[in-house]
Structure 1
Amino acid sequence: MVVRSLKNIFLKSYFDYDSPFDLFKFHPQLRICLMLNGIFFNNPESPLRFIFPVLSGTVSLIAASLEAIFIYHGVTVKDYSFATECFCYFIILTLIPLIYTSMILNRKKIMDLLNSMNRDFLYICSLGSKYRSTFLEGQLLIWRLYLAWFMYIVSIDLTYLGTTIAILMYQSLFATQTENIVRPLMFPLWLPEDDPYRTPNYEIFMFWEIVLMLIVIQTICSYVYLLFHILLHHYYLMSMIIFDCEVLFVGLDESVVRLPKHDPRRMGVQTILNSRMRRIVKWHNLVFQSIEAVSSIFGPPLVYQVMFSSVPISLMAYQVADSLDHGKLNVTFAMLGIAICLQLWIPCYLGTLIRNKAFSVGDAMWSSGWHETPLGRLLRADITLVIMRSQLPVSIKFTGLPNLELETFSSIMSTSYSYFTLLRQYTGNNKT
Structure 2
Amino acid sequence: MVMQSLKNIFMKSYFDYDSAFDLFKFHPQLRVFLVLNGIFFNNPESPLRLIWPILSAALSLVATSFEAIFIYHGVAVKDYSFATECFCYFIIMTAVPVVYTSMILNREKIVDLLNSMNRDFLHICSLGSKYRSTFLKGQLLIWQLCIAWFTFVTTVVFTFLATTIAILMYQSLFATQTENIVRPLMFPLWLPKDDPYRTPNYEIFMFWEIVLMLIVVQTFCAYVYLLFHILLHYYYLMSMIIFDCEVLFVGLDASVVKLPKHDPRRMGVQTILNSRMRRIVKWHNLVFQSIEAVSSIFGPPLVYQVMFSSLPISLMAYQVAESLDHGRLDVMFAMLGIATCVQLWIPCYLGTVIRNKAFSVGDAIWSSGWHETPLGRLLRADITLVIMRSQRPVSIRLRGLPNLELETFSSIMSTSYTYFTLLRQYTGKMK
TM tier relative to shorter chain: over 0.9
For normalisation by structure 2, the TM-score amounts to 0.99
Q: Report the residue type matching 1:360 in the other structure.
A: S
CA distance in 2, matches of 1:414, 1:374: 53
Q: Is the 8 A contact 2:323 2:329 kept in 1?
A: yes
Query: What is the CA distance between 1:179 and its match in structure 2?
Result: 1.7
Match of 1:197 in 2: 197
CA distance in 2, matches of 1:14, 1:80: 53
CA distance in 1, matches of 2:156, 2:180: 29
CA distance in 1, matches of 2:53, 2:387: 44
Match of 2:131 in 1: 131
What RMSD, in angstroms, separates the aligned Cα atoms of the two structures?
0.6
CA distance in 2, matches of 1:315, 1:205: 24
Partner deviation per Cα, 1:25-83 (whole Å, 9 max, x = no partner): 11111000000000000000001110000000000000011001101111111111111
Query: What is the CA distance between 1:401 and its match in structure 2?
Result: 2.5
Q: 5 Å matches for 1:116-265?
A: 116-265=116-265
Partner deviation per Cα, 1:130-189 (whole Å, 9 max, x = no partner): 101110111111111111111111111111111111111111111112220111001000
Q: 5 Å matches for 1:95-134?
A: 95-134=95-134
Match of 2:310 in 1: 310
Match of 1:299 in 2: 299
Query: What is the CA distance between 1:117 and its match in structure 2?
Result: 0.2
CA distance in 1, matches of 2:33, 2:90: 24
Match of 2:411 in 1: 411
Q: Report the residue type matching 2:73 in the other structure.
A: H
Match of 1:351 in 2: 351
Partner deviation per Cα, 1:347-396 (whole Å, 9 max, x = no partner): 11100100010011000000000000000000000000000000001111
CA distance in 2, matches of 1:268, 1:140: 38
CA distance in 2, matches of 1:130, 1:336: 42
Query: What is the CA distance between 1:300 and its match in structure 2?
Result: 0.5
Q: Report the residue type matching 2:185 in the other structure.
A: L
Query: What is the CA distance between 1:190 and its match in structure 2?
Result: 0.4
Q: 5 Å matches for 1:331-346?
A: 331-346=331-346
DSSP 3-state at the match of 2:260: coil
Query: What is the CA distance between 1:398 and its match in structure 2?
Result: 2.4
Q: Report the residue type matching 1:206 in the other structure.
A: M
Match of 2:30 in 1: 30
CA distance in 1, matches of 2:79, 2:185: 18
DSSP 3-state at the match of 2:63: helix
CA distance in 2, matches of 1:402, 1:199: 50
Q: Is the 8 A contact 1:228 1:346 kept in 2?
A: yes
CA distance in 2, matches of 1:20, 1:217: 34
Match of 2:17 in 1: 17
* Number of aligned residue pairs: 431
Partner deviation per Cα, 1:288-309 (whole Å, 9 max, x = no partner): 0000000000000011110000
DSSP 3-state at the match of 1:175: coil
Identity of aligned residues (%): 86
Gaps of 5+ in 1: none
Partner deviation per Cα, 1:173-208 (whole Å, 9 max, x = no partner): 111122201110010000001000000100000000
CA distance in 2, matches of 1:80, 1:423: 10
Gaps of 5+ in 2: none
Q: Report the residue type matching 1:122 in the other structure.
A: L
CA distance in 2, matches of 1:214, 1:160: 11
Q: Is the 8 A contact 1:303 1:400 kept in 2?
A: no
CA distance in 1, matches of 2:208, 2:293: 36
Residue 427 (structure 1) aligned with residue 422 (structure 2): no
CA distance in 2, matches of 1:373, 1:11: 43
For normalisation by structure 1, the TM-score amounts to 0.99
DSSP 3-state at the match of 2:72: helix
CA distance in 1, matches of 2:340, 2:216: 12
DSSP 3-state at the match of 2:298: helix
Query: What is the CA distance between 1:105 and its match in structure 2?
Result: 0.2
Q: Is the 8 A contact 1:320 1:329 kept in 2?
A: yes
Query: What is the CA distance between 1:278 and its match in structure 2?
Result: 0.3
CA distance in 2, matches of 1:218, 1:82: 26
Query: What is the CA distance between 1:2 and its match in structure 2?
Result: 1.1
Match of 1:64 in 2: 64
Query: What is the CA distance between 1:400 and its match in structure 2?
Result: 2.2
Residue 281 (structure 1) aligned with residue 281 (structure 2): yes
Q: Is the 8 A contact 2:398 2:404 kept in 1?
A: no
Q: Is the 8 A contact 2:295 2:398 kept in 1?
A: yes
Q: Is the 8 A contact 1:96 1:216 kept in 2?
A: yes
Match of 2:74 in 1: 74
CA distance in 1, matches of 2:262, 2:239: 35
CA distance in 2, matches of 1:175, 1:337: 31
DSSP 3-state at the match of 2:64: helix
CA distance in 2, matches of 1:223, 1:400: 22
Match of 1:39 in 2: 39
Match of 1:365 in 2: 365
Match of 2:94 in 1: 94
CA distance in 2, matches of 1:406, 1:179: 50
Match of 2:392 in 1: 392
DSSP 3-state at the match of 2:170: helix
DSSP 3-state at the match of 1:196: coil
Query: What is the CA distance between 1:3 and its match in structure 2?
Result: 1.0
CA distance in 1, matches of 2:81, 2:24: 45
Partner deviation per Cα, 1:216-255 (whole Å, 9 max, x = no partner): 1110000000000000000000000000000000000011
Q: Is the 8 A contact 1:87 1:312 kept in 2?
A: yes
Q: Is the 8 A contact 1:38 1:50 kept in 2?
A: yes
DSSP 3-state at the match of 1:178: helix
Query: What is the CA distance between 1:329 and its match in structure 2?
Result: 0.6
